[in-house]
Amino acid sequence: MSLERILKRAAHEITDGQTINLGIGVPTMLVNYLPADRDVMIHSENGVLGAGRKASVATADPALIDAGGSYITTRPGGAFFDSAVSFAMIRRAKLDMSVMGAFEVDQEGNLANWKIPGKFSPGIGGAMELAQKTKNILILCTHQDKHGNSKILKKCTLPLTAEKCVSRIITDMAVMDVTKDGLVLKEIAEGLTIEQVVQATDADLILGEEVRSF
């Protein structure tokens, strides 16, 4: 499955000692792909530090949810606090990484992940501040939408969440880094060719010195 491929690759980005935020949607699934001994503190903007794997129906505590409303577990050393403290942590740049989804992301690192004109949206929420204040933004998304259109663009067309904030993009087809020179292709999914990835991408891709498979 394409999402499983994305999540398995993304798990390698998370290292011991990090404090990270997992955005609503695909990113919240990442916790289930981390090794059990990976020593990370997962932050949720509704007031949790130290979130663990998703809780089963049998073990769910109605008081323990993540920002997406899913029941969660917590790890030893976890803490709970109000939204003011949670957002103070974000605004003071205390997070090492935020993992987010995207409707569109472009070669300048601009991110659009909260609004499709004409469709209902509950609002931009905490995504705007996470994208602006976190030092490392990792985007997880499919390379193309359901119509086969590239989500990796020369320039975003949807309302932006934040400008020039993205560090790395992982899709089901490729791993790409946003640099001052443009979007650098670092890895391609096993079974694909560089030419296939380039053809599926609207953005201009710069080939890294060594493009590996994942």
Catalytic residue positions, numbered: 45
Can you give the pLDDT at residue 194? 97
- Tell me the pTM: 0.94
Q: Are 166 and 109 in contact (CB under 8 A)?
A: yes
> Is the model's pLDDT at 1 over the cut of 70?
no
d(CA 169, CA 166): 8
Instruction: Give percent of the chain with pLDDT exceeding 70.
Output: 100
List pLDDT tens digits, range 130-149.
999 999 999 999 999 999 99
Query: In the structure, what pLDDT confidence band is assigned to residue 123 with cuts at 50, 70 and 90?
Result: confident
Can you give the pLDDT at residue 117? 84
Number of domains in the chain: 1
d(CA 136, CA 99): 9
List pLDDT tens digits, range 49-63.
999 998 988 889 988
List pLDDT tens digits, range 27-47.
999 999 999 899 999 999 999
One DSSP character per residue, 9-66 reads HHHTT--TT-EEEE-TTGGGGGGGGS-TT---EEEETTTEEEEEEEPPTTT--TT-B-
The whole-number average pLDDT for the span 7-35 is 95
Query: In the structure, what pLDDT confidence band is assigned to residue 119 with cuts at 50, 70 and 90?
Result: confident
The values of phi and psi at residue 67, to 5°, are -65, -20
> Is the model's pLDDT at 118 over the cut of 70?
yes
Kindly report the number of other CB atoms within 10 A of residue 155's CB atom: 11
Q: What CATH number did the domain enclosing 46 receive?
A: 3.40.1080.10
Which residue range(s) make up the domain with 167? Answer: 2-213
The whole-number average pLDDT for the span 84-105 is 97
